Amino acid sequence: MSIKENVFPSHFAWGAATAAYQIEGAWNADGKGPSIWDTFCHGKGRVYENQNGDVACNSYDLWEEDLRCIQQLGLTHYRFSLSWSRLLPDGTTRHINQKGVSYYNRVINDLLASNVTPMVTLYHFDLPQALQDQGGWTSAHIADAFNSYAVFCFGTFGDRVKLWLTLNEPSVCAKLGHEDGLHAPGLRDPGAAAYLVGHNMLRAHAKAWHSYHALFRPEQRGLVSLALSSDWAEPLDPGSPEDAAAAERYMAFTFGWFASPVFMTGDYPAVMRSRIDARSRAQGFLSSRLPAFSEGEPSVLGTADFFALNYYTSRRARSASPPPGTLGLKSDQGAEGVLDPSWPVCGVSWLAVVPDGLRKLLKHIKDTCNNPAVYITENGFSQVGPVDLEDFRRCGFYRDTLLEVSEAIHEDGVDVRGYFAWSLLDNFEWADGFSVRFGLFHVDFEHPKLTRSMYRSGREYAKIIARNGFPSSAQS
Ligand code: GAL
């Protein structure tokens, strides 16, 4: 491999990512309204050891510590999310919480003063509880509520923020939150709720993108997208046509569900439409469980100025034939994802480490989404059990992954503009609480000061950033 191949393009964005509920704490401080994650965690039996994000990393009070971490890594970009109910306690612009505005102004201004570009996510799983009480993402009205919130944020912060993500991982919010009940709001309604939620999320995103485009872009000149998570799936047996079709279905139901409406056709993948329509009919539903886009609404196609990809893992797919009456996304998909025994699993059972899956997925994005600019907005490696600051496996993971990204750029011609490690800090890992650690910095949750200490992987990442890649001397 030549030196050139391991050097990233100039102006490559080197980032790390976080999300409000996972780091901020201060769940009810200074006028913040409750979110669905506050409610979810305060109920019992939902999160590992009944933990919650009431305090988390207390980034609300310890922002300057986080900024120091960002500076120590030498990040050029930092991705964080706004807590909707910290800004708008009841979810509407009827009441604006100025202390919330001041907090995010400080974060943004400090980043810019440190030469770090903010990438801001408007929604990372934490819906204001007041909106959940009106149906949340299952209600068609949510799209307008989200649009008003987005317009408020563009107007308040958009003079300085130029990279926006409306929604983080709508598929995860839809499925884990509304079908499996593992995430807030904890709904277990297999078969229909996830598609309805996903649909309303797409409508909400499209409205916000159109608002930005019409009202703010001419002056602010920023870019707006949404962060899509996807596994990469390949046939379990490459020689089997059934497995090949299963892998295609797996990709359609994970990647295509949101990428197809936004980047490809303006509609869901044909295989989703045909399977869910047919199964809904056979199950006695009066209409398809997969909603249809209506003509009167702003178009979803083309509502992303770049592709924002969260990639964690891969699967081998084989065909599955659940009984026709079974409800749920997996049954509709008719494909099962299994782990290849050669893939190491890191910490959590779902996270098989497959760096070359990222390269393949990047190529797939180039080929199917009209060669967009891509930011990898999340990618990471978890640690469980005893804390090990000398996290050699994670160092190897980042190195292998970034080499794959480099190949995607130089060999496959994918227009990758940046990479955000998940995460800057160990934080509240949703239903796994604090038991699963993804940080480049360890946070001592037992210590009153919530001390941040850099992992070895943080030091390695900082070196890669400083060299803008892997110069030849660093390759051994
Ligand atoms: C993503 C999510 C992050 C983080 C990560 C690691 O799905 O956006 O908030 O938790 O997974 O599991």
Ligand 1: which of 383, 429, 432, 434 to mutate, judged by most atoms within 8 Å of the beta carbon?
Answer: 429
How is residue 262 annotated by DSSP?
I
pLDDT higher than threshold 70 for residue 438: yes
Indicate the average pLDDT of the chain.
Answer: 97
Ligand 1: which of 23, 83, 378 to mutate, judged by most atoms within 8 Å of the beta carbon?
Answer: 378
The residue among 310, 337, 365 whose CA lies nearest residue 234 is: 337
Q: Phi and psi dihedrals of 210, rounded to 5?
A: -65, -40
- Catalytic status, residue 390: no
Mean pLDDT of 425-441: 98
Point out which residues pair with 227 in neighbouring strands.
Answer: 168, 308
Residue 161 pLDDT grade (very low, low, confident, very high; cuts 50, 70, 90): very high
Pocket of ligand 1 (CB under 6 A): 19, 22, 168-169, 172, 229, 310, 378, 422, 429-430, 438
Tell me the two tokens of residue 247. Answer: 């892998």
CATH number at residue 441: 3.20.20.80
Per-residue confidence (pLDDT) for residue 475, from 0 to 100: 47
The residue among 198, 105, 88 whose CA lies nearest residue 152 is: 88
CA of residue 325 to ligand 1 center, whole Å: 32
SS3 58: coil
Single pTM value for the model: 0.97
Q: Which residues contact 147 (CB under 8 A, 6 or more apart)?
A: 204, 207, 208, 211
In whole angstroms, what is the distance from residue 28 CA to residue 449 CA?
19
The tens digit of pLDDT for each residue in 96-119 reads: 999 999 999 999 999 999 999 999
Per-residue confidence (pLDDT) for residue 471, from 0 to 100: 72
Number of domains in the chain: 1
Return the residue whose CA atom lies nearest to atom 4 of ligand 1. 429
Ligand 1: which of 430, 432, 435, 436 to mutate, judged by most atoms within 8 Å of the beta carbon?
Answer: 430
Residue 4 pLDDT grade (very low, low, confident, very high; cuts 50, 70, 90): low
pLDDT higher than threshold 50 for residue 1: no
Per-residue confidence (pLDDT) for residue 3, from 0 to 100: 44
Per-residue confidence (pLDDT) for residue 14, from 0 to 100: 98
Q: Which atom of ligand 1 is nearest to the CA of 22?
A: 9
CA of residue 212 to ligand 1 center, whole Å: 26
Return the residue whose CA atom lies nearest to atom 12 of ligand 1. 429
CA of residue 261 to ligand 1 center, whole Å: 23
**Which tops the pLDDT comparison, 99 or 473?**
99
**Catalytic entry in 378, 404, 429, 460:** 378
Question: Long-range pairs for 159-162 at CB < 8 Å and ≥24 separation?
Answer: 159/220, 160/108, 160/109, 160/112, 160/118, 161/108, 161/118, 161/120, 161/222, 162/117, 162/220, 162/221, 162/222, 162/223
The tens digit of pLDDT for each residue in 370-399 reads: 999 999 999 999 999 999 999 999 999 999
CA of residue 23 to ligand 1 center, whole Å: 12
In whole angstroms, what is the distance from residue 363 CA to residue 65 CA?
38
Placement of tokens 């409000």 in the chain:
20
Domain that holds residue 431: 3-474
Per-residue confidence (pLDDT) for residue 347, from 0 to 100: 86
Per-residue confidence (pLDDT) for residue 135, from 0 to 100: 98
Q: Which atom of ligand 1 is nearest to the CA of 427?
A: 10
Of 204-208, 263-267, 344-348, least confident by mean pLDDT is 344-348
Residue 416 pLDDT grade (very low, low, confident, very high; cuts 50, 70, 90): very high
CA of residue 62 to ligand 1 center, whole Å: 22
Q: Phi and psi dihedrals of 167, rounded to 5?
A: -125, 145
Mean pLDDT of 12-29: 99
Mean pLDDT of 267-287: 97
Contact 57, 425 (CB under 8 A): yes
Residue 6 pLDDT grade (very low, low, confident, very high; cuts 50, 70, 90): confident
Q: Which helix (H) or strand (E) covers residue 178, if one does?
A: helix 170-178
